[in-house]
Amino acid sequence: MRQQNKSSTTAHVYTHDAWNRLVKVQLDSVPPSTPITLNESEYNGLHWRTVKRADTTSVPNGLDQKRVMYYSAAWQMIQEDIDDSYVSSPGTNDRPQQVWGPRCPSPTPARVSHRIITSSRPSASSEKLSAKRRVQIAKKAAAKRWGKN
C-alpha cells in the first residue's frame, strides 16, 4: 500500500497485489478516517484487467461505474461492457467493440459502440438480429478503415 498526499487534508491510497498490479485507489483524509474508494480492478490469470469499477463523479462518493473487458487470444481487447450505474440499477448501458485489422502487429482498432437505450430485455429473435447487425457494422467499419482485400 502506498500513500500520496493530494493536499494537506486528503491523500490517495494505492493498493497493489502480489504481482504489483493496481487493485484499488482510495481517497482518504489526513489524519486517516473512512476512505472513499475511487477505483477497483480485477485481473485474470494472464494478468489482463477484466473488471474495472470506478467513481466517475467530480465529487467522490463511491463506485458507480463498472466495465467488463473481453479479450482475443492475441491479447487484443475486443469488447467492453459498460454499466454507468451498476450499484443502483445494474445492466449494461454501452457495449463498445474493437475490430482489429490484419496488416501489422499492433494495428489501431476501429471502434463500434452500441448504446443500449432501453432497460427491457429483447426477445431472442431480435437479439439474434441485432447480433447479425453488429457483425455487419463491424465488417463495414473494418473494410472502410483498411480497404477491401
Q: What backbone torsions phi and psi does residue 4 show, to the nearest 5 degrees?
A: -125, 120
Q: Is there a contact between 141 and 114 (Cβ–Cβ < 8 Å)?
A: no
Give the per-residue pLDDT at 109: 64
Q: Is there a contact between 76 and 66 (Cβ–Cβ < 8 Å)?
A: no
Give percent of the chain with pLDDT exceeding 70.
75
* Cell of residue 24, nine digits: 484499488
Q: What backbone torsions phi and psi does residue 145 show, to the nearest 5 degrees?
A: -75, -45
| Residue predicted with more confidence, 147 or 67 | 67
For residue 15, the surrounding DSSP H or E stretch is strand 10-16
Residue 116's pLDDT band (boundaries 50, 70, 90)?
A: low
Q: Mind listing the pLDDT tens digit for each residue in 16-27?
A: 999 999 999 999
Q: What backbone torsions phi and psi does residue 58 show, to the nearest 5 degrees?
A: -70, -30
Q: Sort strands 10-16 and 36-43 into parallel, antiparallel or unpaired.
A: unpaired
In three-state secondary structure terms, 34 is coil
Q: Which of 59-68, 106-115, 119-128, 138-147 has the largest mean confidence?
A: 59-68
The pTM for the full model equals 0.66
CA 54 – CA 57 distance, rounded (Å): 9
